Amino acid sequence: MTAAAAEKRRSALRDHKRKAILAAARRVCDAGGPEALTIRAVAAQAGYAAGAVYSYFGGIDELAIALTAEELGHLARRMREAAERASGPAEALAAAAREALKATAGNAPHVRLAGRLMSAENLPVDLDRAVTGRVISVLETLGGPLRAATGLEGEAAHREILSLAALLIGLRVLDASGRLGALGFTAESLLAHRLAALPEA
């Protein structure tokens, strides 16, 4: 084996192990919520020593946020696919936004885990970039159809995209907390009302 081939193999092995740790972390979070996510619990679930986990993630915050980055990637893909199945820009925007609610419904552990981004400090540069990239992917699944549907551009478009994303986050939180149903509303109906009132250029 040449040095280059050996290096490639080491890199593939590291990648495989990192993914196995993230998969274990997902199972821990699914089963016990974000509070159950500790390096020790993830290592036990993955069948590694805790020290092995630390060689991939600097700590539990970093691991939690890497898992959220992965979840955001899945979310962006689902939203993009939903938009692509729709027949026009307004329908694509509505489909992507509805899919954001649908994909996160009944997934409180990962929604709550994502809240960890609010306390994330001193993330490794690679991970911070990965999160930013995934967030932009999610926003763009809304942004493309929103620009096409409304004719908005530049700052005006950004403002509506971010406001819509904020609304989706808040609707998910209120809905999952049982605070919409009690008042006779659904996240979907409030979303539909907002989409119907989007400004146009």
Encoded tokens for 199: 């400004």
Site stretch for a second copy (CB under 8 A), options 11-19, 48-56, 88-96, 163-171:
163-171
Q: Least Å distance between CB 32 and a second copy?
A: 10
Q: Least Å distance between CB 13 and a second copy?
A: 31
How far is residue 175's CA from residue 184's CA, in Å, rounded to a whole number?
11
Q: Least Å distance between CB 96 and a second copy?
A: 16
Q: Indicate the residue type of 166.
A: A
Q: Does residue 120 interact with a second copy by CB under 8 A?
A: yes
- Angle between helices 60-85 and 89-104 in degrees, nearest 10: 140
Q: Between 86 and 169, whose beta carbon lies closer to a second copy?
A: 169
Helix, strand or coil for residue 201?
coil
Question: Considering only residues 95, 111, 127, 146, which one is a binding residue for a second copy as defined by CB under 8 A?
Answer: 111
Q: Does residue 168 interact with a second copy by CB under 8 A?
A: yes
* Contact (Cβ atoms closer than 8 angstroms) between residue 60 and residue 39: yes
- Alpha-carbon separation of residue 152 from 95, 140, 143 (angstroms): 19, 14, 10
How far is residue 146's CA from residue 144's CA, in Å, rounded to a whole number?
5
Q: Which residues bind a second copy (CB under 8 A)?
A: 33-35, 60, 108-109, 111-112, 115-120, 132, 135, 155, 158-159, 162-163, 165-171, 173-174, 176-180, 182-185, 190, 193-194, 197, 199
